[in-house]
Amino acid sequence: MKANEINLNRFLSQSDTQFIIPVYQRNYDWTSAQCLQLFEDIIEVGTKNEMNAHFIGSIVYVHDDVYHASGIRELSIIDGQQRLTTVTLLYVALFAFAEELGNEALKNRINETYLINKFAQNEEKLKLRPTENNDLALKFLLRNDKNEEFKSYSRLIENYDFFKKRIDSENLDVILKGLSKLMFVEISLDRDKDDPQRIFESLNSTGLELSQADLIRNYILMSLSRVNQIKIYEKYWEVIENNAKIISTNTSEVSSFVRDFLTLENKKIPNKSKVYQEFKLKYPTSTLLSLEENLAKLKKLVKHYNKILNPINEPNKLIRKHLEYINRLEVNVSYPFLMQVYDDYENDIVTKEEFIEVLEIIQSFAWRRFIIGLGTNALNKIFMTLYSDIDTTDYIKSLEFALLKKRGSQRFPSNNEVLNTLKEKDIYSIKSKNRLYFLEKLENHNNKEYVQVDGNSNITIEHIFPQNPDDSWFNDLTAEEMQELKENYLNTMANLTLSGNNGSLGNQRFLNKKNMNKDGGEQGYRYSRLWLNRYLSEIDVWNVDKLMERHKILSKRFIEIWRYPELPTVKNKEDEINIFEVQDSTGKKLDYAILFDQKLVFHTISDLYLHLLKTLLELQPETFFSSDLHQKLQLSKSNEGMRRGIELNDTYFVETNLSNENKIGRMKLALEQFGFDDELYIKWREDICEKTLFSVN
């Protein structure tokens, strides 16, 4: 590696040289704000005679000392392309201005010194060779044909126009003088002696915000010859970039896709900031053949990923609708699992009906958990390994069984759990898209004519008993009934419906809302074609009894839509329970515990408490001291002042003179701090009077 301070003009004026922007580089993306800063710096240094130079950073390139038959030398730019491209655009704008002035000498000097290799032919003519679309834009600018129009958007053309508007006869000499004073550090790498990828990582470890996908792309392509770079980019990586994108927002999801792919492959979720490192560990650079084999896996799955991100691309109407639902629920952690199921569907391992059933089961699992308030963190671990439990000869039953055997906070909530919660669950205050999902699914179950709720401005959510009822409600209800409806059931499922006439129905008493036909508009429930209003069209009063009756109707529909698998009930093995579900430990002794899927025989909470703290302290000691956890657990380097301090290791003691309830509370604190709230289960002994205790330490 060679590093030199060099004048930018001298660098650009090298004869018979092309500056190649490789396909793995991210697109040129300087904005007008960055162009303005550079332009002002050039004006300043060009104006002030006392300023001999202005430093603008570094340019790093790989040279192979290989020349084409025509004598053109290629330098692959791996850092600094944004600055190099922007300065080139300024010279193109100066070239066009010189042509307008009729200054042939200046025009030819700029063109032949900084923009082209005078005696080269065809593609070797331009000194700067950007990536494909930018290359077309640069050639368009150099043609300077007033009758020609560039058909697509280009940042190069936008920034060229920015400079062109700011160049005039008064500042021309100042700009040229300023450009002549620009300096940068030239870092030249030899592919055979240096490691361009490692140097690139070092250069971009701070400052330049490259995504994990950018780093992976560079890692894949940088070590290849230019011919193979283009081949691999066009055959694989470009396909991945084009498919791992949300169409509606033009947002790249390549980093997320690779993360989900690695999750599927490794059955372990990489940290979002460590995806690149995990990819390197999984796929070290080797032969071109093995690289293609590895990328072929990503290319195959990314086409399914595209449909998961963009359901509109799925041709089957019913599959498309269920994918839309999963997106609305934001069950993104299911994507690794869904990619593989999608691939099984494409390869006829799963039928269309089975695939739809898988999508329904995922919704049922996720939505039931949401209703009863189970945390979403547990879903990461569930979907990370879920495909391993699939028996492709009995796809649906194996999936259902895999989910039903989950315990504690990972469980599949039962009908009773869900329906009891729904009685008083505040549905109205949840996220709008979740609320609309819920009511849209309720409305359309078994309906022949689908009613689009999400995005339909003609349909709104209405409270049957209003948020602000007018006095006419006292004709039907006592003050106590009004209070009960308002305090306990106002925002619940049974008090919500869909209406195309919410503004008209407003706060009026129920009978008025039912029969409203203002100006023949048939606004009332009795005229509604919506299923959710069918029961309302049949009754004449709305009170707690009617609300409970409607709750039963909706509950029956709920368990038909978000069904609980019809397998024999899977109970937690021998009544094992998550430590966070323990309510009362009075007079109880342990039979055993399960920590990190390992069964441990403990008969006292004290033994379990000490074992857990020792395990966590050995696993990750810094977590105790990066928070106040060590204080809450009374962890100390000395047992002085403790009533019963027990040694955890050679350094730390912990207070153990605590009640079982207190020890369990502290275990919960520790597990929460570590993010291990699904890792400890216990089984109480049925014979609590047995005297013999056996501990595993």
Q: Which residue has the tokens 């006439």?
A: 501
Which of 72, 54, 75, 56 minimizes the C-alpha distance to 64?
75
For residue 547, being part of any structural domain is answered with: yes
Mean pLDDT of the chain: 87
Which tens digit of pLDDT belongs to each residue from 379-435?
888 999 999 999 999 999 999 999 998 877 888 999 999 999 999 999 999 999 999
For residue 695, being part of any structural domain is answered with: no
Mean pLDDT to the nearest integer, 185-195: 69
Q: How many domains does the chain divide into?
A: 4
Whether residue 495 sits in one domain with residue 370: no
Its domain, for residue 348, covers: 212-412
pLDDT at 569 over 60: no
**Band of pLDDT at residue 568, cut at 50, 70 and 90:** low
Contact (Cβ atoms closer than 8 angstroms) between residue 172 and residue 109? no
Q: Which residue has the tokens 């470009």?
A: 238
For residue 81, being part of any structural domain is answered with: yes
Mean pLDDT to the nearest integer, 640-665: 89
DSSP conformational letter for 268: S
Whether residue 130 sits in one domain with residue 218: no
Measured CA to CA, the distance from residue 614 to residue 370 in angstroms comes to 34
Measured CA to CA, the distance from residue 34 to residue 26 in angstroms comes to 17
Which tens digit of pLDDT belongs to each residue from 491-529?
999 999 998 765 666 788 899 889 988 878 888 899 999
Q: What is the pLDDT of residue 198?
A: 62
Whether residue 398 sits in one domain with residue 435: no
Least confident of 99-108, 145-154, 557-566: 145-154
For residue 692, being part of any structural domain is answered with: no
What are the φ/ψ torsions at residue 619 (nearest 5 degrees)? -70, -45
Can you point out the beta strands (E) in 200-313?
A: 245-246, 251-252
Measured CA to CA, the distance from residue 300 to residue 313 in angstroms comes to 16
Contact (Cβ atoms closer than 8 angstroms) between residue 295 and residue 220? yes
Whether residue 599 sits in one domain with residue 501: no
Q: What pairs with residue 684 in β-bridges?
A: 590
**Band of pLDDT at residue 205, cut at 50, 70 and 90:** very low
For residue 468, being part of any structural domain is answered with: yes
- Of 203, 233, 263, which one is at a domain's C-terminal end? 203
For residue 290, being part of any structural domain is answered with: yes
- Of 203, 232, 256, which one is at a domain's C-terminal end? 203
Least confident of 10-14, 46-50, 238-242, 375-379: 375-379
Measured CA to CA, the distance from residue 595 to residue 326 in angstroms comes to 32
Whether residue 53 sits in one domain with residue 182: yes
Whether residue 456 sits in one domain with residue 516: yes
Whether residue 252 sits in one domain with residue 170: no
Whether residue 169 sits in one domain with residue 85: yes
Which tens digit of pLDDT belongs to each residue from 10-43?
999 998 898 988 877 777 889 999 999 999 999 9
Whether residue 449 sits in one domain with residue 402: no
For residue 433, being part of any structural domain is answered with: yes
Q: What pairs with residue 583 in β-bridges?
A: none
Whether residue 219 sits in one domain with residue 151: no
Q: Which two tokens stand for residue 382?
A: 């569930």
Q: What is the pLDDT of residue 194?
A: 57
Q: Which two tokens stand for residue 299?
A: 């290319």
Which tens digit of pLDDT belongs to each residue from 327-373?
999 999 999 999 999 999 999 999 999 999 999 999 999 999 999 99
**Band of pLDDT at residue 202, cut at 50, 70 and 90:** low
Mean pLDDT to the nearest integer, 529-549: 95
Mean pLDDT to the nearest integer, 626-647: 88
**Band of pLDDT at residue 550, cut at 50, 70 and 90:** very high
For residue 149, being part of any structural domain is answered with: yes
Q: Letter for the amino acid at 491?
A: N
Whether residue 621 sits in one domain with residue 506: no
- Of 527, 561, 595, which one is at a domain's C-terminal end? 561
Least confident of 3-7, 214-218, 547-551: 3-7
pLDDT at 266 over 50: yes
Whether residue 430 sits in one domain with residue 310: no
